[in-house]
């Protein structure tokens, strides 16, 4: 296979829901404040966009992912209509993974049971921290108790596939405090956890909050320890690292997100959503009202449509593949792109191998855990 060859793996379908009950002070996502009327128009627009995508012929898909924003602000009946539209427009596998991102304060057992009934079979809870003061510093709306209860409610509602998001390197957070959050997450027995390092963007209100309250982030070395020690605890708890920021019980990796990291293909619906298919990358218009206007006018919402060059596709495959704990499959890269990675980049990679950041094991090139902390330095080799 070469760079121009079509990928025959089933697609992932991403649905963007840009509404939130309040805007968190660190947030850099494409989202806005919830408005019931706008949401109703938005769901209608999503249904049209999905239906139109299916008009070119039914292709296979095996994951649906509702991301945001706060998708759990949709009514379960709206989620059901969107999933049904996906099933009409695509040949959605019977065992498809259907994920809904949910904020703990926006759910209760009845709502969760209704989401389950609508066809959602995986929940990803934005918990972020199991310490009250940290949640307040991030201006999150939920409490530790609500997050804990949400997990119990999800189990009672029949979900056997749960993921929790946690954030580390929070303002004023010390290593032992972070590890307490990690332990609290482990104690809830999720199938999957995502760990993110807080990034304080230049124009984030959190930056001002931090200056005003004189909150600071721990030194870089502590951030490194937060990552390493958390991963060790998660390993010991049977949550295996499969990507730089993600761990899962065996067989419970996010099948949808794996498409992003294994050179897969997906279609995105909604404002700001990206798609990658047949070597073409598209990005929908970001602003919600602009998106609604495009769809209402019978136009495509795709603002950017770009055919990727062979080198660009190779670069993406290398960047994303190296994020995986199992590393890059050098043989697959050679077959797909006709490039011997070691021959092309071996001289530059050798320094990183010597420094213990990268390992070559047979057909695989993978980052060590130390290398994962400095992934951007290693990946610079491919630029
Ligand atoms: S809930 Fe998530 S998407 Fe919404 S404002 Fe907070 S961080 Fe951003």
Of 25, 70, 101, best ligand 1 pocket probe by most atoms within 8 Å of the beta carbon: 70
Cα angle: 227, vertex 230, 232; to 5 degrees: 110
Pocket of ligand 1 contains residue 23 by CB under 6 Å: yes
CA nearest neighbour of 291 among 275, 268, 272: 272
**Separation of 23 CA from ligand 1 center, angstroms?**
6
Determine the pLDDT at residue 198.
96
**Separation of 335 CA from ligand 1 center, angstroms?**
40
Max Cα-Cα span within the chain: 58
Of 69, 124, 140, best ligand 1 pocket probe by most atoms within 8 Å of the beta carbon: 69
- Look up tokens 């079509």; give the residue: 6
State the alpha helices, DSSP H only, in the chain.
36-54, 76-89, 109-118, 132-137, 144-156, 175-187, 205-213, 220-236, 255-261, 288-296, 310-321, 330-337, 341-354, 369-373, 375-379
Q: Are 143 and 29 in contact (CB under 8 A)?
A: no
From first to last of its 383 residues, what are the pLDDT tens digits of the chain?
444 445 679 999 999 999 999 999 999 999 999 999 999 999 999 999 999 999 988 999 999 999 999 999 999 999 999 999 999 999 999 999 999 999 999 999 999 999 999 999 999 999 999 999 999 999 999 999 999 999 999 999 999 999 999 999 999 999 999 999 999 999 999 999 999 999 999 999 999 999 999 999 999 999 999 999 999 999 999 999 999 999 999 999 999 999 999 999 999 999 999 999 999 999 999 999 999 999 999 999 999 999 999 999 999 999 999 999 999 999 999 999 999 999 999 999 999 999 999 999 999 999 999 999 999 999 999 88
Question: Which residue's C-alpha comes closest to atom 8 of ligand 1?
Answer: 27
Determine the pLDDT at residue 3.
46
Orientation of helix 109-118 relative to helix 76-89, angle to 10°: 10
Question: Which residue's C-alpha comes closest to atom 6 of ligand 1?
Answer: 24
DSSP output for 280-327: EEEEE-SSHHHHHHHHHTT---EEEEEEPPHHHHHHHHHHHHTTBTT-
Q: How far apart are CA 22 and CA 33, in angstroms?
A: 6
Within the chain, how many helices (H) and strands (E) appear?
15, 17
Pocket of ligand 1 contains residue 34 by CB under 6 Å: no
CA nearest neighbour of 53 among 334, 277, 245, 343: 277
Residue 321: burial class (beta carbons within 10 Å; 0-12, 13-18, 19+)? buried
Q: How far apart are CA 201 and CA 91, in angstroms?
A: 40
Nearest atom within ligand 1 for CA of residue 103: 1
Nearest atom within ligand 1 for CA of residue 69: 3
Of 17, 24, 107, best ligand 1 pocket probe by most atoms within 8 Å of the beta carbon: 24
Question: Which residue's C-alpha comes closest to atom 2 of ligand 1?
Answer: 69
Residue 224 structure tokens: 């490194």
Q: 64: which strand partners?
A: 13, 98
Pocket of ligand 1 contains residue 27 by CB under 6 Å: yes
As a whole number of Å, the end-to-end CA separation of the chain is 23
**Separation of 383 CA from ligand 1 center, angstroms?**
31
């Amino acid at each position: 296979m070469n760079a121009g060859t079509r990928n025959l793996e089933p697609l992932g379908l991403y649905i963007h829901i840009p509404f939130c009950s309040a805007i968190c002070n660190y947030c850099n996502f494409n989202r806005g404040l919830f408005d019931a009327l706008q949401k109703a128009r938005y769901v209608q627009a999503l249904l049209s966009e999905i239906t139109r995508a299916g008009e070119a012929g039914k292709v296979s898909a095996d994951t649906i992912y509702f991301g945001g924003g706060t998708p759990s602000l949709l009514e379960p009946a709206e989620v059901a209509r969107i999933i049904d539209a996906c099933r009409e427009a695509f040949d959605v596998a019977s065992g498809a993974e259907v994920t809904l991102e949910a904020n703990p304060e926006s759910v209760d057992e009845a709502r969760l049971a209704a989401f389950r009934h609508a066809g959602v079979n995986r929940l990803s809870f934005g918990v972020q921290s199991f310490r009250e003061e940290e949640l307040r510093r991030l201006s999150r709306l939920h409490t530790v108790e609500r997050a804990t209860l949400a997990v119990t409610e999800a189990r009672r509602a029949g979900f056997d596939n749960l993921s929790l998001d946690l954030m580390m390197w929070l303002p004023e957070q010390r290593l032992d405090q972070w590890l307490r959050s990690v332990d609290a997450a482990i104690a809830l027995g999720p199938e999957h956890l995502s760990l993110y390092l807080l990034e304080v963007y230049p124009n984030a209100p959190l930056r001002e909050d931090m200056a005003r309250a004189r909150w600071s982030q721990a030194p870089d070395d502590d951030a490194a320890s937060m990552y390493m020690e958390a991963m060790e605890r998660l390993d010991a708890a049977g949550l295996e690292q499969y990507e730089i920021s993600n761990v899962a019980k065996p067989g419970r990796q996010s099948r949808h997100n794996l498409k992003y990291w294994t050179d897969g293909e997906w279609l995105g619906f909604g404002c700001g959503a990206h798609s990658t298919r047949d070597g073409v990358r598209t990005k929908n218009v970001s602003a919600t009202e602009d998106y609604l206007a495009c769809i209402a006018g019978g136009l495509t919402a795709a603002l950017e449509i770009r055919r990727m060059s062979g080198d660009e596709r190779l670069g993406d495959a290398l960047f994303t593949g190296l994020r995986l704990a199992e590393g890059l499959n050098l043989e697959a890269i050679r077959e797909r792109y006709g490039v011997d990675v070691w021959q092309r980049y071996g001289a530059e990679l050798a320094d990183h191998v010597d420094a213990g950041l990268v390992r070559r094991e047979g057909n695989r090139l993978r980052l060590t855990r130390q290398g994962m902390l400095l992934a951007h330095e290693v990946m610079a080799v491919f630029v």
